[in-house]
Structure 1
Amino acid sequence: MRYLTLAPAVALGLALPAVAQNPIDGMRPDAPELAPYGARPVGVTTQSFTDPDRIDVVRATDDAAPTADRTITAEIWYPAAEGTEPGTDYTALMRDGATEVTLTGRAAREAQAAGGTFPLVVISHGYPGNRFLMSHLGENLASKGYVVASLDHPDSMYQDMGVFPSTLVNRPVDQAFMVDALTGWADHPVGAMIDDDAVGIVGYSMGGYGALIYAGGGLSQAAIERREPSWYNAPGELLARNAAGADAHAALADPAVKAVVAIGPWGRNRDFWDAAGLAGVAKPLMIVAGGVDDVSSYPAIRQIFEETTGTDRLLLTFENANHNAAAPMPAPEAAWQVSEATGEYHFDHYADAVWDNVRMNNILQHFVTAFMDLNLKGEAEKAEYLDLVELAADGVIDRAEDGTEGPDHSYWKGFADRSAHGLRLERRAAGK
């Protein structure tokens, strides 16, 4: 990720307030209809789960594949009991891997669980990232009746970035392991609320890479056999476990997973898939992308959209946005200053040069709510929020003075008039 360079005069004008405020629950007045928090109070708990004897890619060589326990920490949001008082702080590390920041939200730490049964959504960050990067989405979905687990992926976090092949090999395996761990967590009051048969995955960047593999998109032979650049090389044949046709890849498939959201998914830009491998994706899919993404490459993301012919899918594009489209929370106040740890700005790890973070977060909350409600809860009426004129700016506004929609009205459902410009939503049916 590149770093933002500001002129000294600009930097002087960005002095931090005495107490930095970093809310994750921002809601703009022009947020689309399904973006606002739901009626349920939200609880949050931090839990760790250990997968014993996982292959340790960091220590592996071409001749040896040692194993080690792999522990994944998750921030888990859930519907809380009625009367729960909202509000909590989160202590998170910033992009520099050293600076602690305090985030504020609406969840109540260790609140009593509401009881009942709710779908599970697993959130998977990029390389690097952490479990708080998409915390805005986790809290939001929990208020609408979901249990949401946002993961810390070892070797992919700000403070422990390991060799890249660890992420290439482990990301879909982490996701599958955590779905199994959480759906088997019935001895905990939060785990007891999880509907074991209704699971969604949201992955950003390398999280999207993992989600596509987990959803059935096996890697290409070109990716498995690649030896240059060396940064992509996994020792021996470790990456082959994620290859199309591999038994280990087939074993990842989980019928409980019924919806996948891949935001800026990385990999097609480096031929980690081919058309045959991507055709194996078998879960309802929504791809979210910035129209000028130069990390995962927008043309390559469009290839993913065109080549995932085994499923119904959507592509939501933020025109002129780059790789940070929709997913990251607003840049913490500390990111507006030079990091003492690195001597650099980390503002552009979170922000986009064109779009406002809160605006993008609200739009993502709206569409993920519609997509998950449709596919995990069976709320058929939410399909209306996804069946839209492709280019929002082409939508026709036809309203009477009292606001009643006329016969020619085709502006995007859920968006105030003229507020969806800059967005495009494309659809493809399975087999096309």
Structure 2
Amino acid sequence: MKSTLIISIILICALSLTAAAEEADFLIGDLMPDAPELAARGDYKVGVRTLEIVNQDQIDILSFSEKNENPTYDRALTLEIWYPAEIPAARKEMTRYKDHYFKNEALIYKGRALREAELDRSEGEYPLIIISHGYPGTRYMMSYLAENLASRGYVVAAISHTESTVRDQAGFASTLLNRPLDIEFTLDKISQFAEADSNHFLAEAVNADKTGLIGYSMGGYGVINAAGAGYTESAVNLNWGVPGGHLKIRQAGNEAYKNSLDDRIKAVFAMAPWGANNGFWNQETMKGLEVPTFFAAGDQDDVSGYQNGTKRLFDWAVNSDRYLLTFKNARHNIAPNAYGVSPLVSVEMTAADLMRYNEPVWDNRRLNNIMQHFATAFMGIYIKGKNYEEYLDLITNSNQGIWDQNQDGSFTEDHTHWIGFPKRTALGMELHFKKAE
């Protein structure tokens, strides 16, 4: 009897120590000691669930041929939903995500959310954020940002775009055509789930009339189009693009495109958006983007381009209140999870393998924290009406900021260090702002 009791005590202690160790681990998305202020988690605990949705009778562009110009299929999408949750006292706000990346092998890492947790209904409906990943990628590619925004009181839906993920990567035409369509369909489906009589776990919990879009790389390509900037005629007619002229349904000036635009979309956060450097927009078509937009990019981006890419989109979006956050000397990978030595880095990797997600100059953990900070500020202002303007009302060049305090700790009029960044940490960045004309 005594031996059984001793074994039970040992097991309980071991489980407690394991749980404590997990909480003490530094996980993807956790705060670095020098993280900016708004990168901190919000007041809500976070739950996570996986949903499957199907968009019926869509153009199967990868089956296009001269003999079959309008092939169709039912397009299945997998969503990961993060949301404010009720976490029982006996449970931990902890999960494991099973993703795939290097050599398509399983990639398992821990996250700060409880799977299948009950939704916190204490404050009624939450605004919606939709996240669109890069090519190839997955719905988990920016879990650090999804968890963080859910803790701030949003329902966050990240899409695994069929034929554009690490596991099912297929012809680029599918990504070009389907990105904005997947985003629009996801918004419609979650809006249906939110209806009072839906019997869905999201019923009466989502205010889809306040929706923000977040996209990285090809995700940025998709969210900009979904928010109102139609593609050019030259993009529709590219010989390496979408065959059969099928991209015309997303072309600027097309009546079907105009009718598809959804005024529930209130703000866009586009990180290293692809397409301007390949002629998918021009000065005229970008006038269609009228919602507030936050662009972010590395000034050495060799995938989406900077001067001929993200910076060009920022300059052309004259009908949008817009920001441009520039990371000096950064390349393209400013947005993905900060996968570390564990679980992703392998001695078998080449430099090209690592560069699929890693930033060669900036610490990805720091990039994650900075994105959390600015996404919280931007979405807080334009989706939730939060008083976060001071975090975006900054001098352009962070390196020129001056830290100047009075003896009582208050800041002087000469203080220009970027608000929210700890002393000596606002370096290597620029933030530009232009108001809509």
| TM-score normalized with structure 2 length | 0.89
Is 1:388–1:413's contact at 8 Å kept on the other side of the alignment?
yes
CA–CA distance in 1 between the matches of 2:96 and 2:62? 33
Is 1:127–1:205's contact at 8 Å kept on the other side of the alignment?
yes
Asked if 1:168 corresponds to 2:173, the answer is no
Cα pair distance change 1:46/1:142, threshold 3 Å: same
CA–CA distance in 1 between the matches of 2:258 and 2:341? 40
Residue 332 (structure 1) shift: 6.0
Asked if 1:377 corresponds to 2:384, the answer is yes
Cα pair distance change 1:137/1:382, threshold 3 Å: same
Asked if 1:126 corresponds to 2:147, the answer is no
Q: Equivalent residue for 2:71?
A: 66
Q: Equivalent residue for 1:94?
A: 101
Counting only pairs closer than 5 Å after superposition, residues 10-409 of structure 1 correspond to structure 2 as 23-62=27-66, 63-81=68-86, 83=88, 85-96=92-103, 98-115=104-121, 116-186=124-194, 187=198, 188-227=200-239, 230=240, 233-299=241-307, 300-331=309-340, 333-338=342-347, 346-379=353-386, 381-409=387-415
The residue type equivalent to 2:147 in the other structure is E
Q: Equivalent residue for 1:3?
A: none
Residue 83 (structure 1) shift: 4.0
Cα pair distance change 1:157/1:331, threshold 3 Å: farther
Give the match's secondary structure for 1:157: coil
CA–CA distance in 2 between the matches of 1:22 and 1:126? 25
Residue 333 (structure 1) shift: 2.7
Residue 181 (structure 1) shift: 0.6
Is 1:133–1:329's contact at 8 Å kept on the other side of the alignment?
no
Q: Structure 1 regions of 5+ residues with no counterpart?
A: 1-18
Paired residue total: 404
Give the match's secondary structure for 1:181: helix
Cα pair distance change 1:332/1:113, threshold 3 Å: farther
Residue 343 (structure 1) shift: 8.0
Q: Equivalent residue for 2:18?
A: none
Q: Structure 2 regions of 5+ residues with no counterpart?
A: 1-21
Higher relative contact order (CA 8 A, sep 6+): 1
Larger-Rg structure:
2
The residue type equivalent to 1:425 in the other structure is L
Is 1:142–1:148's contact at 8 Å kept on the other side of the alignment?
yes
Is 2:399–2:427's contact at 8 Å kept on the other side of the alignment?
yes
Give the match's secondary structure for 1:216: coil
CA–CA distance in 1 between the matches of 2:403 and 2:346? 43
Question: For residues 243-265 of structure 1, what are the alpha-carbon distances to aligned partners after superposition, in whole Å with 9 as ceiling and x for unaligned?
Answer: 10112321331111101011000
RMSD, aligned α-carbons:
1.8
The residue type equivalent to 2:416 in the other structure is S
Is 2:142–2:335's contact at 8 Å kept on the other side of the alignment?
no
Give the match's secondary structure for 1:192: coil
User: Which is worse superposed, 143-152 or 395-404?
Assistant: 395-404
Q: Equivalent residue for 1:13?
A: none
CA–CA distance in 2 between the matches of 1:346 and 1:75? 26
CA–CA distance in 2 between the matches of 1:30 and 1:344? 28
CA–CA distance in 1 between the matches of 2:168 and 2:296? 27
Give the match's secondary structure for 1:236: helix
Is 1:338–1:346's contact at 8 Å kept on the other side of the alignment?
no
Is 1:135–1:329's contact at 8 Å kept on the other side of the alignment?
no
CA–CA distance in 2 between the matches of 1:205 and 1:95? 19
Cα pair distance change 1:29/1:344, threshold 3 Å: closer
